[in-house]
Structure 1
């Protein structure tokens, strides 16, 4: 493969990967304005984030079998068309319920891009290059939550929140054209794959019964729901409670992403000395200590804007370490059912994330404490699940040093 072709593929796959994070993070600075325009509360607007997570969670399970049955490009085309139309609908939306519903449809569409990009990495690159390609995609994935809210903050403040969805609409069109023109047909449709519910469900059940899968998938997903809690609560915390404007909020959000991305890059260095299990264990212990201290501070009203930022920064750093390792150990046993395992892992992660962000919409109103409580509880549950689940793993499949499987938000 020529260097030019390699770069082209990485750029297109990267843009497919980035579509989801951009759709999640870019409109966050507009929460207050959306609430004003649609005559509702910021907490109700945050339900549009939950509906988006539910959409991605359901979409993961939907596209896995479709991409194997019909090849990669047809389901991708269909999904991106759905995304483009839903984004356009969000520009002209008049009430909050339609907005929440359109965000769900938008997520189902964008999910095709996420699942297809992971599948195509496996199709297009030799096995030894896959971890390197995933690391590059992780960098794109990491830059998205830094760029998206910052751009969103400026766009919202200067042009209004509707324009954010117009930009997402144009992004959808550009990515659709690039993927149809620039990506090869990397996989022949497999007509032997049944789309009847029974074989699909039994395939998912087979994956779920693997102790290594359920231990690390649930440990990772429960711990990771802290990230979704933070994303859903952050507009309320920073803009309503600490009264920062949309542009400043965008910068704070970008700064927080540095912690998550920095620690996941640090993770590759630490893996040369420690095993994935040791890293997960240490990260969860540290995360538990941080959340308990954070909770004590928040309950006693000892937090300022800056100390809240510091505590969240440390919290996200722990997630950046545990997440790639739980993902790697979850996927390690599946040479054959990798597609189903990956889709199921994503669905569990996003389903729990939707629940966490839903809880934020109900409980986080005028205090930081409910958000921190959700984070503390999920961290401790994840630690318990890890220690109970480990007892059921009889023959553990290790990840090779280079297998840096990363699935991010």
Structure 2
């Protein structure tokens, strides 16, 4: 194949993998504008509607550990197609949910199914691309992850107003169908038969224990997971802090939220440009230091009672933008040493990230006291523990070809 053909095939593969990583942000953010409508339709309150989001988060945090071993046993394509079909079915069923309880249960199934695409997309990156190229590829996937929270609520809001809340789930079903077609036609099997692993419970448990005990996996996973935890603490606390404390109108909140997401996207793309020139471990340490400094400003403002929107937004922007350096690098390093266990490594990486995220977001709710202190404290704790883990990350494996 010519160089132009190889470049075209590479771009095509990245687009398919990027679409697969979009399931979680789309499924989470697209229906947020429909919360008031769902409360009216199902004659319930906002708290019960929020259980549909919590059900998705819980399934997405725990379900990744299920798909990783399947992908290492049966290859990437078959489990991925099963997950996509299950996601389509659950999305269609959501449009016919008779109660808010039924919708929450179906959202749990959606979360389980969405795990397949995210876990297997990371595993395919490890299968197909050399370790030295992993950071730019993960940075490209972060472009989708960062843009989806900006665009999804806008698209969901338009569908809600023009068609109805059911259209959000029909869109998700159609999107899954398009991804399924792309997988069937354009995503070849990337796991060699000789790399298939046992699905016996003892073997699966041994694989996960081995990964957790291996510092090459554990340290970058913790560094990235703690950073993700800080981001979810921000997501959980920002609506109250920005809308209720600082009086930002709800219709403008999305622009503030989107500006921070855009900072993350821009830094991730800068990361892709400099990945071959700068030591990834150095970038992780630098990003961790910058993040902790921004967190200290945020923490000082929150605990001093200083009512300054600028001094709150500026460090928040820096904290979120720094993830553009942390996430691609930590993901690439964590996956690099385990080509024979890429599915399990991807699954455990995701489970750790979202479990820490659930703890952080829950902490913000438990400590809620009518100030910005719980959010600032949770973000700072995530940055602090992430920086400590980041100092022990060894990126030398990415130099091997």
Cα 1:131–1:381 shift into 2, 3 Å: closer
Aligned counterpart, 1:63: 67
Match of 1:120 among 118, 124, 128: 124
Residue 195 (structure 1) aligned with residue 199 (structure 2): yes
Cα 1:401–1:269 shift into 2, 3 Å: farther
Matched position secondary structure for 2:306: coil
Stretch deviating more after TM superposition (315-324 or 227-236):
227-236
Aligned counterpart, 2:80: 76
Q: Distance in 1 between matches of 2:370 and 2:36?
A: 14
Q: Distance in 2 between matches of 1:286 and 1:15?
A: 31
Match of 1:210 among 211, 214, 226: 214
Deviation for aligned residue 1:343? 2.0
Q: Distance in 2 between matches of 1:260 and 1:244?
A: 22
Aligned counterpart, 2:281: 277
Residue 150 (structure 1) aligned with residue 154 (structure 2): yes
CA offsets 1:297-333 (integer angstroms, 9 cap, x no match): 2344434555543332111022222222332333343
Cα 1:53–1:213 shift into 2, 3 Å: same
Q: Any conservation in 2 of the 1:73–1:185 contact (CA below 8 Å)?
A: yes
Q: Distance in 2 between matches of 1:129 and 1:277?
A: 15
Q: Distance in 2 between matches of 1:48 and 1:359?
A: 19
Match of 1:184 among 172, 188, 193: 188
Match of 1:85 among 89, 113, 116: 89
Q: Distance in 2 between matches of 1:132 and 1:206?
A: 27
Cα 1:47–1:295 shift into 2, 3 Å: farther
Match of 2:141 among 130, 137, 141: 137
Match of 1:369 among 348, 369, 373: 373
Aligned counterpart, 1:406: none
List gaps (5 residues or longer) in structure 2: none
Matched position secondary structure for 1:337: helix
Q: Distance in 2 between matches of 1:95 and 1:291?
A: 42
Q: Distance in 1 between matches of 2:166 and 2:389?
A: 42
Residue 356 (structure 1) aligned with residue 360 (structure 2): yes
Q: Distance in 1 between matches of 2:315 and 2:39?
A: 28
Deviation for aligned residue 1:258? 1.0
Aligned counterpart, 1:22: 26
Q: Any conservation in 2 of the 1:295–1:376 contact (CA below 8 Å)?
A: yes
Q: How does 1:2-401 map to 2 (within 5 A)?
A: 2=5, 5-35=9-39, 37-38=41-42, 42=46, 45-93=49-97, 95-124=99-128, 131-156=135-160, 159-187=163-191, 193-238=197-242, 247-269=251-273, 271=275, 274-303=278-307, 307-364=311-368, 366-386=370-390, 390=392, 396=394, 398-400=396-398
Deviation for aligned residue 1:221? 0.8
Q: Distance in 1 between matches of 2:264 and 2:400?
A: 20
Stretch deviating more after TM superposition (123-132 or 80-89):
123-132
Give the TM-score, by structure 1 length: 0.83
Q: Any conservation in 2 of the 1:225–1:356 contact (CA below 8 Å)?
A: yes
Deviation for aligned residue 1:206? 1.2
Q: Any conservation in 2 of the 1:22–1:144 contact (CA below 8 Å)?
A: yes
Q: Distance in 2 between matches of 1:170 and 1:20?
A: 15
Q: Any conservation in 2 of the 1:87–1:106 contact (CA below 8 Å)?
A: yes
Q: Any conservation in 2 of the 1:70–1:190 contact (CA below 8 Å)?
A: no
List gaps (5 residues or longer) in structure 1: 404-409
Aligned Cα root-mean-square deviation (Å): 3.3
How many matched pairs? Answer: 397
Aligned counterpart, 1:407: none
Stretch deviating more after TM superposition (294-303 or 225-234):
294-303
